[in-house]
Copies of this chain bind each other. A is one copy, B any other.
Amino acid sequence: MLSNIPNATLKRLALYRRCFVELDEMRVRRIQSGELSQKIGIDSATIRRDFSYLGELGRQGYGYEVRVVLEAFNNLLKPDDAQRCILIGVGNLGRALVKYFSSDKFKRRLFRTPVNLVAGFDIDESLVGQHIGELPIYHLDNLSSYIEENHVTYVILAVPPFVAQKVATSLEGLGIKGILNLSSTVINVSEDILVHEVDLNMELETLFFYVFQREQLKK
């Protein structure tokens, strides 16, 4: 069902899903694409086109049943088979994610992200052997054996930029499918591994570019 979804649509799916999880938690049962559009700032036509890739989810004039949409997302994300994921680099950014995934709010969530964060890795001796919340922290030296023994498929890479490529290279050939790269630099890996990058400083700059553009247009 998920084949041939354009990249532009794939990029928006997580935003839609989060919105529907919030609607469900507010006990909203149904929403029109127009309302949804206002809520998330994406035009209705785009929403309807994007949703058409997920199956028959809504009827003209009736809107979308919140639970039906969430079930459709669940089918895509296979929550029964949560993705085994490790965190490499347990600094502030890494901790923010650990805290989020170990929060009661997240765990109690009916339609939560199907991620199973199983271990953290660092080289800081004061962290190794400790737990952050429930997450055990191991030394980076044990990385490859851990990944193979525990069938880990996803990595959140939150190490400093100057070691990011070295760590990324050490992940090759171990069965990793995807890396969320938070290391503030480009990493190059073989095509088996998909990399999705987020750099908060870059996002702040992007906001500046948007604002400057807007001010330019006002003149």
A residues within 8 Å of B by Cβ? Answer: 1-5, 10-11, 13-15, 17-19, 22, 39-41, 76-78, 83, 85, 91-93, 95-97, 99-101, 113-115, 154, 156, 177-180, 182, 184-186, 188, 194, 196, 198-217
Contacts and interface: CB of A to CB of B under 8 A. Distances in A.
Given A202-B18, A204-B156, A13 B92 contact: no
A178 B92 contact: no
A194 B96 CA distance: 25
A200 B198 CA distance: 8
Contact of A185 (B22, B83, B213): B22
Interface pairs A-B: 10 shortest CB-CB: A92-B96, A14-B205, A14-B202, A196-B207, A93-B96, A92-B95, A3-B216, A178-B211, A14-B206, A92-B92
Nearest to A98: B92
Contact of A211 (B91, B194, B201, B208): B194
A211 B96 contact: no
A212 B95 contact: no
Copy total for this chain: 2
A85 B83 CA distance: 37
A13 B205 contact: yes
Given A96-B91, A199-B18, A201-B100, A180 B209 contact: no
B180 A13 contact: no
A97 B14 contact: no
B95 A208 contact: no
Given A3-B216, A113-B201, A217-B3, A209 B76 contact: yes
Contacts of A91: 96, 99
A19 B202 CA distance: 11
Most buried by B among A5, A19, A101, A185: A5
Most buried by B among A4, A11, A200: A200
A83 B212 CA distance: 11
Nearest to A158: B96
